Structure formats: structure tokens, C-alpha cells
Amino acid sequence: MLSSATCHVEAIMEARRAYPFDRIEPKWQRIWRERRVFRAANPGEPGAQKPKYYVLDMFPYPSGRGLHVGHLEGYTASDIVARYKRMRGFNVLHPMGWDAFGLPAEQHAIATGIHPRITTERNIANFRAQIEAMGFSYDWSREIKTTDPGYYRWTQWIFLQLFRRGLAYVAEAPVWYCPALQTVLANEEILPSPEGPVSERGHHPVERRPLRQWMLRITAYAERLLADLDLVEWPESIKEMQRNWIGRSEGAAIRFPIEGKDVSVEVFTTRPDTLFGATYLVLAPEHPLVSEITRPECRTAVEAYQQEVAKKSDLERSELSGGKTGVSLGSFAINPASRERIPVWIADYVLMSYGTGAIMAVPAHDERDYEFATLFGLPVRSVVRPADSSDPPARCFSGEGIACSSRFLDGLPTREAKKAMIAWLEEKGVGKRTVQYRLRDWLFSRQRYWGEPFPIIWRNGKAEAVPETELPVLLPERKEFSPEKGGFAPLSQEKSWVELPDGGRRETNTMPQWAGSCWYYLRYLDPANGQALVSPVAERYWMGPQGVDLYIGGAEHAVLHLLYARFWHKFLYDIGVVSTPEPFHRLVNQGIILGEDGRKMSKSFGNIVNPDGLLREYGADTVRLFEMFLGPLEQMKPWSSQGLEGPHRFLARVWRLVMEEDAEGRWTPRPGLSTEEAPLEVRRILHQTIRKVTDDLEQLSFHTAIAQMMILVNALTRQLVQWRCVLEPLILLLSPFAPHLCEELWSALGQTDSLAYARWPEADPRLLAEEEAEWVIQINGKVRGRMTAARSLGREEAEALARRRPEIEAWIEGKSVQKVVFVPGKLLNFVVGPS
RNA sequence: GCCCACGUGGUGGAAUGGCAGACACACGGGACUUAAAAUCCCGUGGGAGGCAACUCCCGUGUGGGUUCGAAUCCCACCGUGGGCACCA
């Protein structure tokens, strides 16, 4: 009973198999693997005399859930490009590896007691099997994983170089702490949410805590990270996000002396031209000078306010909580321009972490200052008027205009006034031109087990570098993975590892997951090198002249991985390890694939598409083709399981152009393939297809390339004979998309070599230029007729021909033709008026 | 609030100043078959007229503009998605 039901199901599965993908796909995967077809040649090896092409995927974190259709989209696109470029004669580097440190494996270990290494290995094996089943042409001899000591040795090495040059340091600062994950997180790993800030991973609530942590001085590279965005071909939206994140603003630092004290408060402003309108100062409540400046009679109120602010969460401090608060310090500062006494306040709308932690308030020209001044009855002095009005505006005006009531600035437009004021400040020695960035230093330590140990030993309260010869500092084995209560890292429990005989203690924090992914694209170039992270020869060959030629991945890393990696790359450039200022020349983001219901794929919606079932039912070539046929690569698009039928039927049609099935269900090459030249209209459509597919591949417009191949195949299906000279180029054109099927047909046509390095077909320009064209004839811009005539027709001939056509005559009859627009080879437009 | 994308049939999309809807899904009809599946062929934006081949009108979020001609360029608005948000 049971077995007959199984037989029945198998019979159905067998019946719906339109071509034997289940046999040919594993076959060709085995051949590619055994013959090492996709090994890329390093300098000195045969093949390295070709020009190089480096096409890179964002390597995955091997999660327990396996690959999803979104991964497959990006990986299929990059694989198509890799296969295409090989056929165009490039030595293609197309590697894959594993971003294998990270929180999920560690959380799983805490829950189950299974070592993260074991889960990670298991997940990697699963990912690799899925990737191989898709037929991707990776050079597996270059596979890397970030958890490998031979790899993280060099992650630690880079950290040491940063440390030596003062770019890695320990500081106590208010940092984001996540109680659920029991670790600190970087600014870039925090997301806003209606309930307040949450962690990027897991969406747990996070809070500010003052802690001593390792920081990387990414701010030292702010200017170059900003300026060099002009060197790369990235989506404008990603560049813009990085620009906003870096947040450069030009202005002036101005010192305000405090009346009766020997101190002054420095403020940063982008509007030095409004200095004459500065009617009070505001310091951040945490500003170090607050206690010194506060008058005795205000001290109680000020301290109470400071405590109140310290208790507030960041959410409460943000504008969502409504009105502004603050208290006066009772003291006065001197406005260096107007010489006026102006009061000094503290308020939590001024942040200690930006600029100097103090501002000059110009309520007439800043919305926030205006709101505060109105609330506390502080004076408002207008010093800029709009360019189109002679009067200063009644309320706050924050735009650019003309300076007024500002003595030596009067009459100057804002831009000029800023320059004049900065010159004046510099001359008087009370201020100077300054550039500020929103970017903060990168919080680099985590209180977790499953990460790279820091190569640092503490002696007498000082951090010392572990000698490079002792790298890697190995992550010790553990059975217990929970972080200690109170923010101590798990490694601190590993006494025999932490405590050194000479009294030194190892650093017990580990690096964040981003560390390993900051430079992995360099290790692929020379993955087994034990002397250096990459040999200079391999680096110059693969990274020259502009770095990775094409980098495909998700947009979610816009200000995380992509900013961090640029920072490390620029540092490695400065110390001579790499030869290009930017790592990734051309970046393309694949769009998110939504569930069938149009919502984001998620467990809670139950709309996640598992690729394994699709591969069984349709085969890898169909899944690859369909992923590309969904729509433009960069666009967000919904999945459609029904839609798979189209590409599947298309591949089966291609198969049947070459193969035929006998009575026993065996497929054999069709006898009677013509070796003659195909008719002109068939050759013409073939060469149009060659041209279109080639152009579209260069632009990564895969879905339109597929559509064109469908047009060609539909035309061939209608023919009674098939021609070898048409089928061969078609198979080559299709092979980057559906490599297994094409390899099988290629060998069925008698070819003995893999087509992976076969020469890409070239379009014959003579066949593209058609002599006849279909001309469109318009009357007043509306199509009223068409005619087939020579493409080369001149204006007069074309017009005369068109006028003779009855459908056109009818429209012109009795009207006056005022003008005739002529587009050679394409179109005529008669502009007619009433009679 | 500010910045950036995007808006086209029942659906995914094509066309980026010159034939709107290529290609595909879905749907409908037909051929083959004892039957079904598969395959192949035909139709498929809306409306009006005609027995018919066909003809005309409307139509690319909404309103305006530029142009002989606009899905495409410009202005305003509406909607969707993403990013930033007291950064002085």
C-alpha cells in the first residue's frame, strides 16, 4: 500500500520532468570539481597572462536556516558575470568563504551547550552543499573562513598595526549596551524603532552606559572616506547614506570668555555670520566646565537637572518627548563680536558627543534655539534678512540671506558673511575655521566568546601588543558560553588563558563580527600565505588598477561593512599592504525578494521560500534562470512560485531543439541537424540576440537578455529543421545562465571540452543593419499608418511615399500641412491644421 | 520634518523623447489523445461601431507645463519603499 503510493508519486515526478536535469546537473558539477575547471591562476601560473576580472559576492554568515532565495539572487548574478567574463578571455577570480564568527552560533551554544565551532561547521557544510547544487563556478581552492586561526591571525595582525599607530585605543565613553545580548554594540549596529533604539541583530532594546572599551579611530579617515566616494561606481543611494553618516559640516570654533573667570567656552557653529545674534550660550549637561562656571546660588538646581538628564533614556532625550528643558548657570559669557554679556545655560538638546559640546544660541536664525528662547524668555536678535525683503523676518529665519545689524558684516550675503567673520575671528585670535563630522569612532570590543581575541596583554594598567611572531592568539576552548553577569566577557573566566606567568593579563574582550569581513576580499588573492596576509605580487595583479571589479550584495551593509572595510583598506593602503585607495570599484545591490504575498519574507508571516524543494522539482538551471527573470537585479520584487514554469518550459524547449526522446524515454541527439547556413531571417534574429545578450550582460540587465533568448527560441521552435550554426551560438549565449544544460547540449553536439572557456559569439554587424525598415507615419503625433520601405530613404522620397498611402491621404485631405518631421529610417510626422 | 528611489494590463515586467504593454505568468479557445498530463497553435489594457477583415476613442498615480510628438523632460500634489532626524 505504502510503497505503491510512493511509486505513484515518483511516477508523477518522473512524468513532469521536462528534461533530465536530475541526471545532468550532478554530472556536470562533478566534472567541474574533478577537473578544477574554475581554478583562477595566480601570477606565475598558466593563465595569469590574461587580463584579470575580480567578481565578488558578500560572503554569508552560515546560519542554521540555510541559504534563502535572496542569497541565490546575488550569487546567481555574480556567477553569470563570472562565466561570461571567462568566455570573453578574462582570468576570473570568483571566490566564496564564510563569515563564521558571530552571535547566532554563540546564542545557540548558550541555549544548547553545543560548541559554536560545531554548529558553525555543520552550517558551513550545509551552505556549501546548497551552493554547489546551484552550479556556481567558485574557485573552491580559495575558500576561507574567518574563524580559521590561519585567517584570524591576520585580522589580529591588522589590529596590531592600527594599535601601533595610535588608531586603536581604550576609552571610557557612553556606549550602547544590549542587555539581551550582554554586549556593547557600535553606533552603526543600532536601529531606531518606535519603542526606542534596538540592536540591529535581534531587535533587542539597547541603552547607553559609560564603559571602558576599545575604539578604532575611523574619524581620522573621515575626510578621505567622504572624498574618495567620488572614485567608485556605487549606487548613488549608498554613497549618499555614507555621506550622511560621515556628516561633514564646515563652520567655525569660537571662544566665549566667561565673565569673572579665567576660562572660556568653545562652541562650534556652521553659521559664524550670525555671531552678532548670539544671545546666550548652551552647554551640554555633561560638559566638563559646567561645575566651574555655575554660580553658587544656582548649584542646587543645576545638579538636580544634571541628575535628571543622566537618568533619562536617549528616547526621552530625543525630540519625541516634546518640549525642551534646561536651567541657567547664573553666570555670563562675553560675545566676542558684540562684547555683550550673554547668559549661560545647560540643556539636554545640546549633545556632549558632537562638536565641542557647547553652542552659541542664535534664536532668530535657528529653530531649536528659537523654541528654547521663547520658552525661557531669552532675547531674540535678528541679524540676517531674506535676500528678497528689506526687513528682518518677524519670527525665526534659518535660511541664507543678507547680514544686517552686524556692523562689519552688514550687506554681505550669508556665504560672504561667513568668510568675513571667520577671517575676523582668526585675526582677533578668538576663533577659527573648523570642520566637524557626525561620524564617531568605531566601538570595536564585544563581551562575547565567539570572536577574534585581541592580541593585547595588560601589564600595570597598560595595554601592550603581543609580538607578531606569537600570532595568532588562539581562542581558548570552552564548555561554558554564557557571558558573566555584569558585563564581563566570557574569556575572563578562562583563568589559565588570561593570567600569564609574568603577571600580565590578556585582554578578554573579542572583536566584532565586522572585523573578519573588513579584509576577506584580500585573503582570497593568496589564501594560504603564511608569511603575509597577501603577497604584493598577487595583490597588485588582482586588485589593480581599481580593486574588486564587481561587488554584489545587499544594501543593508551601507554604513556597516562597506564603511568599515573602506576604512581598513585605506589604512592598509597607508602602510603599503594594498596598492589602491578603494577596495570595491563597482558595487551593485541586489533588491530584496519579497514573499509571494508581497510582504517581507519572514518566519512570522510563514512566507519563506526554501530553495531545496525548488531545486528538486525544477533543477538548478531553472532556479537560476527564474531568479534572474523576476525583474531588474537591483529592484525589490515579489517571488512567484508559479512563475518558475516559464523559464522551465523555455529550457525544455532549448533541450528539445537538440535532443529527442525515443520510445523508452531515452534522450539522444536529434539526427538530421542541418550543417547548412540558416536562412537570412533566422541568422538575423540570432545576431540580434547575440548583440542584445552581450549588451545586457555588460549592464547586468539579465531579465531582458533572457527575454531576447526566448524570442530566438520561439522563432526556432516554429522551424521544421534546426541548424548547427544557430544552435551552437545559442548554447554559448545561454550557458552563463543555465550552465549544466548547456554543457550537456554542447557535448551532445560533439564538443569534447567544457564550454566554460569557449569563445563568446560575436554579432555580425552586416546582419544587424537591415535594409528595409518599418516606417511609422504620424498625423499630429498620432500613429495613422506605417509602411515598409528602404531604411536609407531621404526626406523627400519618404514623404512622397507616405502621402500616397490611402490611410494618410484621408487624414491630410482638405487640411493644410504646416510641417513634416522626419526621423531617418524611423518616422514621419505630418503636422496639419484645419483646412 | 529633511534626503534618496519608485508609481505602466489580472500579475512580474519591457520601452528613458518617436508604434505603450516586448518576454513571461495566469486566464480563455483550439489541435493531438480513449482520456488526462505534456507539447503545439490562436486570443488576451478598457470602451464604441461593424457579419467581417477592420475603424475610431480613451489609457503609463493626479493636475498643469515644454515639444511636431511625453510612460520618458520640467513644476506642483498624492501614494509606496528606504535612509536620516535636537549633529548646532
Q: Residue A178 in contact with residue A199, Cβ under 8 Å?
A: yes
The integer distance in angstroms from the CA atom of A174 to the C1' atom of B87 is 17
What pLDDT, on a 0 to 100 scale, did the predictor assign at position A298?
94
Please give residues of chain A from 504 to 563 whose alpha-adjacent beta carbon (CB) lies under 7 Å from any atom of strand B: 555, 558-559
Distance separating alpha carbons of residues A760 and A689, to the nearest angstrom: 13
Whether A483 has a pLDDT exceeding 90, the answer reads: no
The integer distance in angstroms from the CA atom of A29 to the C1' atom of B6 is 40
Q: How confident is the model at residue A318 (pLDDT cuts 50, 70, 90)?
A: low
What pLDDT, on a 0 to 100 scale, did the predictor assign at position A626?
95
A629 CB-to-strand B distance under 7 Å = yes
What pLDDT, on a 0 to 100 scale, did the predictor assign at position A9?
40
Residue with cell 563570472: A82
Starting from the edge strand earliest in sequence, which strands make up the sheet with A52-57, in order? A91-93, A52-57, A550-553, A587-589
Question: Apex CA A725: angle with CA A723 and CA A726, to 5°?
Answer: 70
Between residues A273 and A666, which one has the greater pLDDT? Answer: A273
The integer distance in angstroms from the CA atom of A108 to the C1' atom of B53 is 72
Residue whose CA is minimally distant from B39 C1': A653
A815 CB-to-strand B distance under 7 Å = no
Q: Which range in A135-139, A234-238, A346-350 is most confidently predicted, on average pLDDT?
A: A135-139
The predicted-structure confidence for A191-227, as pLDDT tens digits, reads as follows 877 777 888 888 888 888 878 899 999 999 999 999 9
Whether A91 has a pLDDT exceeding 50, the answer reads: yes
The integer distance in angstroms from the CA atom of A574 to the C1' atom of B15 is 48
At A225, which amino acid appears? Answer: L
Instruction: Name every residue whose Cβ is closer than 8 Å to that of residue A108 and which is 6 or more positions away in sequence.
Output: A64, A114, A116, A119
Find which nucleotide's C1' atom is closest to A353's CA.
B87
- How many Cα atoms are found within 13 Å in the side-chain-facing hemisphere of A730? 29
The integer distance in angstroms from the CA atom of A783 to the C1' atom of B66 is 21
Residue whose CA is minimally distant from B26 C1': A642
What pLDDT, on a 0 to 100 scale, did the predictor assign at position A319?
52
The predicted-structure confidence for A495-505, as pLDDT tens digits, reads as follows 899 999 999 99
Residues written for chain A: 835
Please give residues of chain A from 307 to 336 whose alpha-adjacent beta carbon (CB) lies under 7 Å from any atom of strand B: 317-319, 321, 324
Instruction: Name every residue whose Cβ is closer than 8 Å to that of residue A211 and which is 6 or more positions away in sequence.
Output: A172, A173, A175, A177, A184, A487
In Å, how far from its chain's centre is CA A581? 18
User: Which whole number is the average pLDDT over A658-687?
Assistant: 88
- How many Cα atoms are found within 13 Å in the side-chain-facing hemisphere of A67? 27
At A559, which amino acid appears? Answer: V
- For residues A79-116, one letter each, b for 16 or more C-beta atoms within 10 angstroms of the residue's C-beta and e for the rest, the string is bbbbbbbbbbebbbbbbbbbbbbbbbbbbbbbeeeebb
What does pTM read for this prediction? 0.92
What pLDDT, on a 0 to 100 scale, did the predictor assign at position A85?
98
What pLDDT, on a 0 to 100 scale, did the predictor assign at position A683?
93
Instruction: Name every residue whose Cβ is closer than 8 Å to that of residue A588 and which is 6 or more positions away in sequence.
Output: A77, A235, A550, A551, A552, A633, A634, A700
Strands A462-465 and A183-185: unpaired
Strands A341-347 and A280-283: parallel
Q: Residue A214 in contact with residue A162, Cβ under 8 Å?
A: no
At A44, which amino acid appears? Answer: G
Residue with cell 529610417: A825
Whether A407 has a pLDDT exceeding 80, the answer reads: yes
Distance separating alpha carbons of residues A201 and A181, to the nearest angstrom: 9
- Which of A124-133, A504-513, A670-679 has the weakest average pLDDT? A670-679
- Which of A34-38, A326-330, A778-782 has the weakest average pLDDT? A778-782
What pLDDT, on a 0 to 100 scale, did the predictor assign at position A201?
81
At A471, which amino acid appears? Answer: L
Question: How far are the Cα atoms of A450, A661, A720, A722 from residue A715, in angstroms, in the given order?
Answer: 57, 22, 11, 11
Whether A320 has a pLDDT exceeding 60, the answer reads: no
Q: How confident is the model at residue A785 (pLDDT cuts 50, 70, 90)?
A: confident
Residue with cell 567656552: A265
Q: Residue A221 in contact with residue A445, Cβ under 8 Å?
A: no
Whether A311 has a pLDDT exceeding 50, the answer reads: yes
A268 bridge partner residues: A253
Other beta carbons within 10 Å of A834: 6
A355 CB-to-strand B distance under 7 Å = yes
- For residues A156-170, one letter each, b for 16 or more C-beta atoms within 10 angstroms of the residue's C-beta and e for the rest, the string is bbbbbbbbeeebbeb
- Which of A15-19, A165-169, A420-424 has the weakest average pLDDT? A15-19
Strands A91-93 and A587-589: unpaired
DSSP class of A601 = P
Q: How confident is the model at residue A322 (pLDDT cuts 50, 70, 90)?
A: low
DSSP class of A369 = H
Whether A118 has a pLDDT exceeding 70, the answer reads: yes
What SS3 string covers A675-693?
CCCCCHHHHHHHHHHHHHH
The integer distance in angstroms from the CA atom of A137 to the C1' atom of B30 is 45
Between residues A178 and A650, which one has the greater pLDDT? Answer: A650
Whether A15 has a pLDDT exceeding 60, the answer reads: no
Distance separating alpha carbons of residues A403 and A384, to the nearest angstrom: 4
Rounded to whole angstroms, the maximal C-alpha distance in chain A is: 108
Backbone angles phi, psi at A543, to 5 degrees: -95, -15
Assembly ipTM: 0.94
Whether A315 has a pLDDT exceeding 60, the answer reads: no
A418 CB-to-strand B distance under 7 Å = no
Whether A551 has a pLDDT exceeding 90, the answer reads: yes
* Helices marked H in A619-701: 620-629, 645-658, 680-698
* C-alpha cell belonging to residue A439: 561620524
Whether A10 has a pLDDT exceeding 50, the answer reads: no
Q: Quick one: which of A72, A94, A185 has its CA closest to A513?
A: A185
Backbone angles phi, psi at A817, to 5 degrees: -85, 115
The integer distance in angstroms from the CA atom of A679 to the C1' atom of B31 is 28
The integer distance in angstroms from the CA atom of A829 to the C1' atom of B63 is 28
Strands A384-385 and A358-361: unpaired
What pLDDT, on a 0 to 100 scale, did the predictor assign at position A835?
53
The integer distance in angstroms from the CA atom of A790 to the C1' atom of B13 is 33
* For chain A, the helix, strand and coil percentages under 3-state DSSP, each to the nearest 5: 40, 20, 40
Q: What share of chain A has pLDDT > 90, as a percent?
A: 63
A269 CB-to-strand B distance under 7 Å = yes
Other beta carbons within 10 Å of A716: 21
User: Which whole number is the average pLDDT over A824-834?
Assistant: 83
Question: How far are the Cα atoms of A285, A494, A684, A798, A827 from residue A824, in angstroms, in the given order?
Answer: 73, 81, 21, 9, 7
Please give residues of chain A from 660 to 719 whose alpha-adjacent beta carbon (CB) lies under 7 Å from any atom of strand B: 701, 703-704, 706-707, 710-711, 714, 717-718
Mean pLDDT estimate for chain A:
89
Q: How confident is the model at residue A7 (pLDDT cuts 50, 70, 90)?
A: very low
Calculate Rg over the CA atoms of chain A: 34
Distance separating alpha carbons of residues A698 and A643, to the nearest angstrom: 25
Backbone angles phi, psi at A394, to 5 degrees: -65, -45
Strand B: positions under 7 A of a protein C-beta atom: 3-5, 11-15, 18-20, 22-26, 37-41, 55-57, 68-70, 81-88
Question: How far are the Cα atoms of A254, A272, A338, A342 from residue A257, in angstroms, in the given order?
Answer: 10, 17, 13, 11
Q: Quick one: which of A737, A738, A716, A740 has its CA closest to A658?
A: A716
Whether A815 has a pLDDT exceeding 70, the answer reads: yes
What pLDDT, on a 0 to 100 scale, did the predictor assign at position A390?
66
The integer distance in angstroms from the CA atom of A784 to the C1' atom of B50 is 20
Strands A248-257 and A431-437: antiparallel
Q: Residue A119 in contact with residue A108, Cβ under 8 Å?
A: yes
Whether A8 has a pLDDT exceeding 50, the answer reads: no
Starting from the edge strand earliest in sequence, which strands make up the sheet with A358-361, in order? A326-334, A341-347, A280-283, A358-361
What pLDDT, on a 0 to 100 scale, did the predictor assign at position A1?
32
Instruction: Name every residue whose Cβ is closer than 8 Å to that of residue A398 and which is 6 or more positions away in sequence.
Output: A365, A366, A367
The integer distance in angstroms from the CA atom of A289 to the C1' atom of B85 is 28
The predicted-structure confidence for A432-482, as pLDDT tens digits, reads as follows 999 999 998 999 998 889 999 999 999 999 999 999 999 899 999 887 777
* C-alpha cell belonging to residue A480: 561554558
Between residues A796 and A168, which one has the greater pLDDT? Answer: A168
